[in-house]
Amino acid sequence: MSIPDGATLAAGFDPTRVRGDFPLLARDIDGAPLVYLDSAATSQKPRAVIDAEAAFLTGTNAAVHRGAHTLAAEATELFEDARATVAAFVGAEPEQLVWTSGATAGINLVAYALGNASLGRGGPEARRLALAPDDEIVVTESEHHANLIPWQELAARTGAVLRTIPVRDDGTLDLEVAASVVGARTRVVAFPHVSNVLGIVNPVAELVGLARAVGALTLLDACQSAPHLPLDLPGLGVDLAVFSGHKMLGPYGIGALYGRAEVLDALPPFLTGGSMITTVTLERAEYLPPPQRFEAGTQPVSQAIALAAAARYLSNLDMAAVHAHESDLERRMLRGLREIPGIRLLGEAADAERVALWAFDVDGVHAHDVGQFLDARGVAVRVGHHCAQPLHRRFGMTASVRASAALYNTADEIDVFLDALSGVRPFFGAGA
Whether the bond between 269 and the residue before it is cis, its omega within 30 degrees of 0, is no
Of 242, 176, 182, the closest CA to residue 211 belongs to 182
CA atoms within 13 A on the CB side of 108: 11
Distances (CA, A) of 195 to 23, 167, 357: 29, 11, 9
Q: Where are the beta strands (DSSP E) in 250-292?
A: 255-259, 277-280, 285-287
Helix/strand number for the chain, H first, E second: 16, 17
Dihedral angle, C-alpha 29, 31, 35, 39, nearest 10 °: 10
Question: Which residue numbers are catalytic?
Answer: 387
CA atoms within 13 A on the CB side of 146: 22
Residue 86, amino acid:
V
Sequential DSSP letters for 409-423: --HHHHHHHHHHHTT
User: What angle, rounded to 10 degrees, do the helices at 301-317 and 319-339 form?
Assistant: 80
Of 157, 148, 153, the closest CA to residue 190 belongs to 148
Strand partners, 285: 280
Residue 299: helix, strand or coil by DSSP?
A: coil
Q: Are strands 28-29 and 32-33 parallel, antiparallel or unpaired?
A: antiparallel
Stated as kind and residue range, the H or E segment containing 156 is helix 149-158
Of 386, 358, 357, 379, the closest CA to residue 424 belongs to 379
Distances (CA, A) of 140 to 31, 54, 102, 321: 43, 40, 21, 30
CA–CA distance, 156 with 172 (Å, rounded to integer): 28
Angle (CA) 31-5-370 rounded to 5° is 40
Contact criterion met (CB below 8 Å) for 288 and 129: no
